[in-house]
């Protein structure tokens, strides 16, 4: 199972219910990587999508304890274990956020696609655990340094040893 996430230098991922910044190239990377796969997300991340609608061309597994989540186009599960059971049905699965889900599911993943944004967003309020501090995770691929609107970033792939 894979994790895909964009982080800043403090491993922040979000602010005020949204992303830290719009990074067009990262969105494209996300779309290409996850296209045709199953994605697992928390209820709050689903709510960040346009009209709170699931992502097209992907199986959307949404974790929530709430019973009144609409079910159109999503597979609703009510625990991490249930999400893991559901995920077994698919060849390619990506954990796509947000903070609570990344931090609970990283231990079940073996590949991490991390977009590393070389900034510190002082208004960030959602963070994930720092994979660079976990000896079992190794960098296997790193893109060149890219730049968008003066913000530098790179695509880094980690594998669990
Ligand atoms: N940078 C990135 O790559 C990236 C990617 C995705 C999201 N984000 C950002 O992350 C933020 C959202 O993250 P978040 O941590 O606040 O929310 P989240 O993880 O998306 O969703 C949290 C919700 O998931 C459900 N949940 C979590 N653990 C559960 C469990 N063990 N059992 C049952 N339900 C569970 C609960 O839903 P109920 O309350 O309905 O029970 C909980 O309120 C936003 O700012 C978003 O933009 C960033």
Q: What is the pLDDT of residue 33?
A: 98
Residue 13 Cβ contacting ligand 1 at under 6 Å: yes
* Each residue's pLDDT tens digit, 118-148: 999 999 999 999 999 999 999 999 999 999 9
Residue 48 Cβ contacting ligand 1 at under 6 Å: yes
Whole-model pTM above 0.95? yes
* Closest residue by CA, ligand 1 atom 12: 98
The candidate with the shortest Cα–Cα distance to 118, out of 143, 84, 85, 91, is 143
Residue 34 Cβ contacting ligand 1 at under 6 Å: no
Mean pLDDT calculated for residue range 49-58: 95
- Phi and psi at residue 25, to the nearest 5°: -65, -35
Q: How far apart are CA 117 and CA 151, in angstroms?
A: 7
Fold of 2-160: Dihydrofolate Reductase, subunit A (3.40.430)
Q: What is the pLDDT of residue 122?
A: 97
- Phi and psi at residue 32, to the nearest 5°: -65, -40
Q: What is the pLDDT of residue 138?
A: 98
Contact between 141 and 156 (Cβ < 8 Å) = yes
* Each residue's pLDDT tens digit, 27-36: 999 999 999 9
Write down how long the chain is: 161
* Closest residue by CA, ligand 1 atom 25: 64
CA of 48 to the centre of ligand 1 (A): 10
């Amino acid at each position: 199972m894979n994790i895909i996430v964009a982080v800043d230098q403090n491993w922040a991922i979000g602010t005020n219910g949204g992303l830290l910044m719009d990074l067009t190239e990262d969105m494209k990377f996300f779309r290409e990587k996850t296209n045709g796969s199953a994605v697992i997300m928390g209820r709050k991340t689903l709510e960040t999508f346009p009209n709170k609608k699931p992502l097209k061309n992907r199986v959307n597994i949404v974790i929530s304890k709430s019973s009144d989540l609409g079910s159109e186009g999503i597979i609703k599960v009510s625990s991490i274990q249930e999400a893991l059971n559901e995920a077994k049905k698919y060849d390619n699965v990506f954990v796509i956020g947000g903070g609570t889900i990344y931090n609970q599911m990283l231990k079940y993943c073996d590949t991490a696609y991390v977009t590393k944004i070389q900034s510190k967003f002082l208004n960030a309020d959602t963070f994930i655990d720092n994979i660079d501090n976990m000896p079992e995770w190794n960098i296997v691929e790193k893109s060149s340094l890219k730049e968008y609107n003066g913000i530098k970033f790179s695509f880094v792939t980690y594998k669990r040893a």
